[in-house]
Chains A and B, each alone.
Chain A
Amino acid sequence: MAIPKERALEAYKTMQKIRNFEKQASRSFSEGVVQGFIHLYTGEEAVATGVCMNLEKTDYITSTHRGHGHIIAKGADLNRMMAELCGRETGYCHGKGGSMHITDTEIGVLGANGIVGGGFTLACGAGITAQMKQNGAVCVCFFGDGSTGTGTFHEAMNLASVWKLPVVFVCENNGYGISTACRRDSSYTNPSMNCKTVADRALAYGMKAMVVDGNNVNEVYDRAKEAIAYAREGNGPVFLECNTYRWDTHFVGDTDNYRLPDELAVWKEKCPIKLHETYLKFMKLADDDQLKAIAKEARNEVKAALKFAEESPFPAPETAVQDVYTDIVEEGR
């Protein structure tokens, strides 16, 4: 099995959109146009793409500080995303959130989140809503390997399992929590956990768990499809560990002194976009020209998003006192 042929190029396009968005975000950050902290998803595109292709608009996702990829894959508007990164009024959060808090509840995005592990229990909450309203929705909870050291991970895994909540826990094992490695090399003392895979932890909660190559979008798609269907049918949560790699530092501008020699080069060889290109060409689903055209289209959409952002006004300072509550506006200066 793999992504259905008629959607195989859609996966390629989504990954290209994420890759180009991150390139531009990084560049614009260096130029001072994008504000705050940004955490790039480059190298991990196949995870968000393969998973979200199985979701309906009415399904939910919770995201992380490294959220651009998830949110793009769930169908967000690049213009409003880029505008938010640039702190503009037209951004998703009207300039109150920034990169780490982009949300769009209309497409089920329950927010990127600045707290590592912040999404776990929220995903349970969305699962409770789905269960109680019996609306057939599923919540996918994206998180990194590092966050599985938090207490909230364990409380949420247990609760989801005990209550059979329709939640799919998608672990993006990108090898590092900032600089602290989570390697499966047996010669290495893992400072993050004392089990072979992150997925091992799910077994303690009586949860079905799978481990996949997170750089292979077809494989992610297949396993996510199975996991999401299982959860949607009311069988309870599923754990999906996707092995992948973060090409960039933790945040843009961070120190890069902890990787093994050649590690990055090895993973770049396993680039999820390159892998999918090879697959598409081998299966004769696309030729070089088509792929180039799609990549160009993605680039242009990102360029247009930046233009939209740069042409958008900053929010009026006094709007800072709005939206703390639904019914109270705080005092201004």
Chain B
Amino acid sequence: MKEIFFSEAIASAIRNEMQRDENVYILGEDVGIYGGSFGATAGLYDEFGPLRVRDTPISEMAIMGSSAGAAVTGMRPIAEIMYDDFLGCCMDQLMNQAAKFRYMYGGRVQVPMTVRCACGGYVTGAAQHSQSIEAMIAHIPGLKVVYPSNPQDAKGLLISAIRDDNPVVFFEHQTLYGVKGEVTDDFDPIPLGKGKIVKEGKDVTVVATGVQVGKAKEAAEQLEKEGVSVEVIDPRCLYPLDKEMIYGSVEKTGKIVIATEECKRGAWSGELAARIAEDRFECLKKPIVRVGALDTPVPFSQPLEDYMLPQTAYIVDAIKSVL
């Protein structure tokens, strides 16, 4: 057990998988000599060389599409798309090619590829370097979607993602790269689709993703002092989703708050709310409440961004509103 940065946890998972399987390679913009825009591939170029750690031209379509082509022919690529915003540059290769190959070819192929991308705001990155578009990706049948909230989970989930025989999109919140956390020395995979109860509680359930997990924890600790017992669940994967864990908690508390960073229109939080309403309506004692960003692009200037993105105080208010 040692304390390492989120970015180091990513690099260590990749290193382990590259040592274990010669078919694993990484490609992307500045992943080689430079070590990745967020340092998440630092040291790998020196260890594995330019054939397995491939610096690409600024060509997201070629990164994504070649990964799909290599995956169906027997490789296990890890593609880095610098920001999830840039998925817009290669959506065909992800949505129409990688995600659909197995299905439209009648199960004749598998597409074992991992797409890593930074996401999220709180860095005054403005509208094209701050988005949370996980709902758009989770909407596409054929893709798995992972969103870790801490270094330990990032390491174990990334190992699973790389070993998975399906295309997996792995969201890494850009403010997490510089966050340290305790990480075990083993390389045990964390199964995709297995959530985590971050904090047990009995009055209200909060399901949170990415950096909202930390904010939900803060909110829970704050309310604990006021005598409110909050259960915080980090699903870790948006698809496949650990519905059983969430439903179990809803059955216990009957009150649910969903906290995600996305703008609420068409959000993944809406999908989860709908599922709960369809499957566990009878357990609900209060309406489902969502905390998210406003329905605008992410603004640049600090006060604007602070206003637009969700904050801990909003989660506190949301919890209070269902007590």
- Minimum CB–CB distance from B290 to chain A (whole Å) comes to 24
Q: Which residues does chain A contribute within 8 Å of B141, judged by CB atoms?
A: 324, 330
Interface residues of B in 70-105 (CB under 8 A from A): 70-75, 77, 92-93, 96-97, 101-105
- On whether the beta carbons of A125 and B68 are closer than 8 Å, the reply is yes
- On whether the beta carbons of B66 and A132 are closer than 8 Å, the reply is no
Interface residues of B in 40-70 (CB under 8 A from A): 51-52, 54, 56-57, 59, 61-62, 64-70
- Whether A324 touches B103, Cβ cut-off 8 Å, given contacts A105-B108, A115-B96, A125-B67, is yes
- Minimum CB–CB distance from B30 to chain A (whole Å) comes to 15
A272 at interface, CB cutoff 8 A: no
- On whether the beta carbons of A111 and B105 are closer than 8 Å, the reply is yes
In this complex, what residue of B is CB-closest to A114? B96
B154-166 interface code vs A (CB 8 A; 1 in, 0 out): 0000000000011
A93-134 interface code vs B (CB 8 A; 1 in, 0 out): 111110001011100001101110010111111111111110
- Whether A93 touches B104, Cβ cut-off 8 Å, given contacts A155-B61, A324-B141, A326-B166, is yes
- On whether the beta carbons of B102 and A152 are closer than 8 Å, the reply is no
Choose, from A3-11, A156-164, A209-217, A304-312, the stretch at the interface: A156-164
Q: Which residues does chain B contribute within 8 Å of A328, judged by CB atoms?
A: 240
- On whether the beta carbons of B69 and A128 are closer than 8 Å, the reply is yes
The number of residues on chain B lying at the interface, defined by a beta carbon within 8 Å of a beta carbon of chain A, is 43
Q: List 11 A-B contacts (CB under 8 A).
A: A60-B73, A101-B104, A128-B66, A128-B75, A129-B75, A133-B74, A152-B93, A155-B57, A156-B62, A158-B57, A324-B103
- Whether A121 touches B66, Cβ cut-off 8 Å, given contacts A132-B51, A327-B165, is yes
In this complex, what residue of B is CB-closest to A103? B105
Q: Name the contact of B97 in the complex, choosing from A93, A118, A139, A155 (C-beta under 8 A).
A: A118
Interface residues of B in 143-200 (CB under 8 A from A): 144, 165-166
In this complex, what residue of A is CB-closest to B144? A325
Interface size class, chain A: 35 or more
- Whether A94 touches B97, Cβ cut-off 8 Å, given contacts A120-B65, A128-B69, is no
- On whether the beta carbons of A122 and B105 are closer than 8 Å, the reply is no
In this complex, what residue of A is CB-closest to B101? A111
Q: Which residues does chain A contribute within 8 Å of B72, judged by CB atoms?
A: 105, 110, 122, 125-126
A194 at interface, CB cutoff 8 A: no
Q: Which residues does chain B contribute within 8 Å of A120, judged by CB atoms?
A: 65
A126 and B51 CA atoms in complex are apart in Å by 15
A22 and B109 CA atoms in complex are apart in Å by 26
A95 and B107 CA atoms in complex are apart in Å by 11
Q: Which residues does chain A contribute within 8 Å of B51, judged by CB atoms?
A: 131-132
- On whether the beta carbons of B69 and A122 are closer than 8 Å, the reply is yes
- Minimum CB–CB distance from B34 to chain A (whole Å) comes to 17
A297 at interface, CB cutoff 8 A: no
- Whether A323 touches B97, Cβ cut-off 8 Å, given contacts A110-B73, A159-B66, is no
- Minimum CB–CB distance from A15 to chain B (whole Å) comes to 26
- Whether A152 touches B92, Cβ cut-off 8 Å, given contacts A96-B103, A132-B75, is yes
A141 and B68 CA atoms in complex are apart in Å by 15
In this complex, what residue of A is CB-closest to B57? A158
In this complex, what residue of A is CB-closest to B72? A110
- On whether the beta carbons of B105 and A121 are closer than 8 Å, the reply is no
Top 10 nearest A-B pairs by Cβ distance? A125-B69, A121-B65, A93-B106, A323-B107, A122-B69, A125-B70, A94-B106, A155-B59, A125-B66, A129-B73
B25 at interface, CB cutoff 8 A: yes
In this complex, what residue of A is CB-closest to B166? A325
A60 and B70 CA atoms in complex are apart in Å by 11
Q: A residues within 8 Å of B by Cβ?
A: 60, 62, 91-97, 101, 103-105, 110-111, 113-115, 118, 120-133, 139, 151-152, 155-156, 158-159, 162-163, 322-328, 330
Q: Name the contact of A126 in the complex, choosing from B57, B70, B77 (C-beta under 8 A).
A: B70
A115 and B93 CA atoms in complex are apart in Å by 10
Q: B residues within 8 Å of A by Cβ?
A: 23, 25, 51-52, 54, 56-57, 59, 61-62, 64-75, 77, 92-93, 96-97, 101-110, 141-142, 144, 165-166, 240
A31 and B71 CA atoms in complex are apart in Å by 39
- On whether the beta carbons of B142 and A324 are closer than 8 Å, the reply is yes
- On whether the beta carbons of B62 and A124 are closer than 8 Å, the reply is yes
In this complex, what residue of B is CB-closest to A157? B62
Q: Name the contact of A129 in the complex, choosing from B57, B70, B97, B166 (C-beta under 8 A).
A: B70
- On whether the beta carbons of A122 and B102 are closer than 8 Å, the reply is no
Q: Which residues does chain A contribute within 8 Å of B103, judged by CB atoms?
A: 96, 323-324
Q: Which residues does chain B contribute within 8 Å of A130, judged by CB atoms?
A: 73
Q: Which residues does chain B contribute within 8 Å of A330, judged by CB atoms?
A: 141
Q: Which residues does chain A contribute within 8 Å of B96, judged by CB atoms?
A: 114-115, 118
A151 and B56 CA atoms in complex are apart in Å by 16
Q: Which residues does chain B contribute within 8 Å of A97, judged by CB atoms?
A: 104-106
- Minimum CB–CB distance from A67 to chain B (whole Å) comes to 13
In this complex, what residue of A is CB-closest to B109? A105
- Minimum CB–CB distance from A38 to chain B (whole Å) comes to 16
A91 and B73 CA atoms in complex are apart in Å by 21
- Minimum CB–CB distance from B197 to chain A (whole Å) comes to 23
- Minimum CB–CB distance from A308 to chain B (whole Å) comes to 17
- Minimum CB–CB distance from A82 to chain B (whole Å) comes to 15
In this complex, what residue of A is CB-closest to B75? A129
